[in-house]
A = this chain, B = another copy of it.
Amino acid sequence: MTKLFLGIDLGGTAVKLAIVDEKGRMLEQNSFPNTCPSNPDKIVKEIINNFHKMKNIKKISGTGVGVAGDIDQLKGVVRFSPNLGWKNLDLKRLLKVHLPAPIVVDNDANAAAWGAYWLETEGKIKNFVCVTLGTGIGGGLIIDGKLYRGTTGSAGEIGHMPFEPFGLKCKCGNFGCIERYLGANYLSMQAKETVERCGSKIILKLTNNNLDRITPRILAEAANLGDKLSNNIWRQAGERLGIVLAGVVNLLNPEMIVLAGGVSLAGNLLLKPIKETIKKRAFNTSAKACRIVTSKYNQNLGVVGAALLSK
């Protein structure tokens, strides 16, 4: 009999649940808005309610939870989650009386990386990097077929690798982190400023003349409609991320880099300059060995990966 696993993607705006099989195929799912992130007891109650609405709950052999923040995976404790406002919360303890054991709590980017690894490669390659491009930029590393967590479970913070040594101040305290340039809001801000300076009929039309409405999705739409300014912004964004990833390729010599998250939906607008930059900048042998793709499974990586972490 195939084993089933429960995955929970616990985000600041929504909580997703899914039951998946050993290969990450989703059997059922549901979700609810996280209306009160600061009240973990209430969220746990809603998780359990939603879990009990599912059909396959008797066959489940483990539960995995992905949470944005600094997680102690060994203890199942959320050390700090700025998004949720949690500090030293023993999430595993709150969940374990109600949900199928074993319970694994991990960083949401690690969960997404693990999901991407299984969904994109079926676990067939050894060294794999996942970059999640959303409001923030996260990352996860699979080394030798295993999720690599580092010494304190904090590994994979690709978004906080330096792009410019003395560049823009990042909210992590550092300067010039790549997240400060390619995080969704920063990218939108850059686009807004550029349109204000240089003009773009297409973007003005797509936003109904309200440039505060620019999002990476609109920026991609404009680029695909032939808007030069938007195309240039994507080209520059890809080159910037490509420079950082060329360093990652030289350091880790991975077999595959998967880009996931909302900003990655720009597809080739972002992927092409990334590939060109890595080809130009990284060592030949390493660049050739590394396939770079955008994920086909964007929506579900986090919740599927969380489930598979409890395998």
**Footprint of B on A, CB under 8 Å?**
70, 79, 126-127, 139, 141, 143-144, 146, 148-158, 160-165, 172-175, 240, 243-244, 246-248, 250-255, 280-283, 285-286, 289-290
Enumerate chain B residues within 8 angstroms of A146, measured Cβ to Cβ.
Answer: 144
Could you pull out 10 A-B pairs where Cβ atoms are within 8 angstroms?
A143-B144, A149-B253, A150-B254, A151-B255, A152-B289, A154-B285, A155-B252, A160-B247, A161-B250, A251-B251
Query: In the complex, what residues of B have CB within 8 A of residue A154's CB?
Result: 250, 253, 283, 285-286, 289
The 4 closest A-B pairs by CB, nearest first: A150-B253, A161-B247, A155-B253, A157-B250
B165 touches A240 (CB 8 A): yes
Is A152 touching B285 in the complex (CB atoms < 8 A)? yes
Give the complex CA separation of A123 and B275 in angstroms: 38
Minimum CB–CB distance from A226 to chain B (whole Å) comes to: 28
Distance of A153 Cα from B283 Cα, bound (Å): 12
Query: How far does the alpha carbon of A155 sit from the alpha carbon of B254 in the complex, in Å?
Result: 8
Contact status A151-B163, CB under 8 Å:
no
